[in-house]
Amino acid sequence: VKAEAYAQRFPEGLDAHHAEHGRPETPLLPEKAMWQGAASPKAPATALTPTEQESLDRFHKLGSMEAVAEGRGLTTGTIAKHLCQAIRLGKADAVKVSGLSEEEAKRVVTALTSFAKAGNYGLKPVYETFAGKYSYEQLRVLRAGTITAAAPDQPPDTDESD
């Protein structure tokens, strides 16, 4: 509902601001990210961390994010993040990780793709489209597979885009 109300006005407001003040030539990033002490954003990972690998190994044995979370004493959200990284690196299948049928996954991926084409990579609109039928973790892993397969240059799977 909120997305519908502001979908038109937000880009128009940005355009008006840029017309008045100009558009920055480069992104406005701080010299150092204070919370990381880093001079620039992290480069994309090319391998799983040991904890991500542990989650993936346990997923292959146990078959669900919930079982892995319980066994590791972590939240399902944390396990989903680990498995999203495995999906992005081609080490796991998004549909299998989601626990959904192929048919259900196709419906969700269609919704994710439709919102992404409109520039919205968040999960909330998709969650609301299906009236909460699918968990954010399921949506997150399917989004990781969709972005990896269809548009690897799109924003990464992070909480900020939810």
Q: Which residues of 27-65 are buried (b: 16+ CB within 10 A; e: fewer)?
A: eeeeeeeeeeeeeeeeeeeeebeeebeebbebbeeeeeb
Whether the pLDDT of residue 63 is over 50: the answer is yes
Q: Is the pLDDT of residue 160 over 80?
A: no
Q: How confident is the model at residue 5 (pLDDT cuts 50, 70, 90)?
A: low
Reported as a single tens digit per residue, the pLDDT across 129-145 is 999 999 999 999 999 99
**Which pTM value belongs to this model?**
0.66
Least confident of 12-16, 21-25, 119-123: 21-25
Q: Is residue 99 classed exposed, middle or buried when 0-12, 13-18 and 19+ CB atoms within 10 A define those classes?
A: middle
What tens digit of pLDDT does each residue of 32-47 get?
333 344 444 556 778 9
